[in-house]
A and B are shown apart, each in its own frame.
Chain A
């Protein structure tokens, strides 16, 4: 085995070392705290919001309706959800091209919950050094006490997270009442535990491994980055050669760069990397190293920004461009698809018609010789008011419509099935299978109409 191969092997098989991120303060830390509070506030708060007397945001899976602020989405509207996901992905590309992994560092649920779990860990077990000491040399008694306290708080928070998650899918106030009397349904209970367990595992135990092994975005984000992308970079030209020194020493005399090799940038890193080794895919762009390095630079009375947000071009003394083909193309596709989605959504039909032939009888011959076909007519009224509809059939001249359970009236946000017979005289039938079209329209609103194709069977 060649020497470089053996070091590579060792790295691949390196056992995971527990990371004890050090607390950090600074502008980016404040930004992340703000992001955590806002995002978790939204997550835990939104299900409790009411709108028109019902839960404002409810993905009512049992009823197959999504309610979002007074809007009702049906399974047919799935296309808009996919559109929304595509737009989300495009925005991710766009922002990654502009400023790297902003999403990972400030908005990803993994980051957000890990941050909160770390706060709890700090609260119970203390700062980095105390936590390391506890794990290495702490007495069994102290370990059991502190660890069980920490895990209990984690578990309570995780359970609340799981409860909130299920509260997006089944009315949360009812769920809460049921929970208090221990009468939640089996699947509700299961999903509360499942999601709670996932939170506890991901934010408490897995942490940076989720980013390294589980996140697909982490693997391909480098494809969106170019030399004009803002990234967290260590200015090695300024920092090297690194070395310890006293505050009053002149680094020039010692032949040293600005990096005092204090290791703090490594200690604050939630994924345990050394930013001074260059851009690495484990870096989630949380900017904790910028904050801590700036504090040190301030103490040393050096210029800030030894580690900073900059582009590769700027770092090497060149010029950087915000608007470049990649960014412009992402922006064009993004605005085009957003426009398409908004247009599609605002002009979406508020009625759906589903016509199926009665499968039991191909056709029936009536006493007077006329031919009769049976249909099931499913009308989905997506509007917010009740409608009565008119129905006509085209394609065969003498076609007559007979409704068995009319009138065609459907309440708001409701679906109703009607039985329908179409009767024609055999003279107007050209073949055994005849294409026909049903047209449905709202009697009180001419803008609501829909056409649906069907077949009429003859002898």
Chain B
């Protein structure tokens, strides 16, 4: 490997390390608080869990900015899979879990709302309002073409 390639590989590895470290810390504690919030159930613990996860997302954005990169395809895919899985678990619990308490339902819906807001806010900050519309619009039309 040439030295330029090695430097690029090192930088890429360092970025990946920063991302995995912050999600390893904030993500694990966020999920733990979230589980406690749903398990107890308790609004405070659940919202604390969401706060950790949002902080991890914001930190990830900052790392991207520092390393002058964006979200990698693998990271987006993993994020979508995780969110999809959690949503599935939540919906299954509501439908087949023998009655969900108002707190659990509220926490779950709050989670969807917070996640959606976070993504929209990120896109607006990154692309601007018109840019966000263009991205969504072009994605939608590309999908329709297929």
- Are chains A and B native binding partners rather than an unrelated pairing? no
List the interface of chain A (C-beta within 8 A of B): none
List the interface of chain B (C-beta within 8 A of A): none
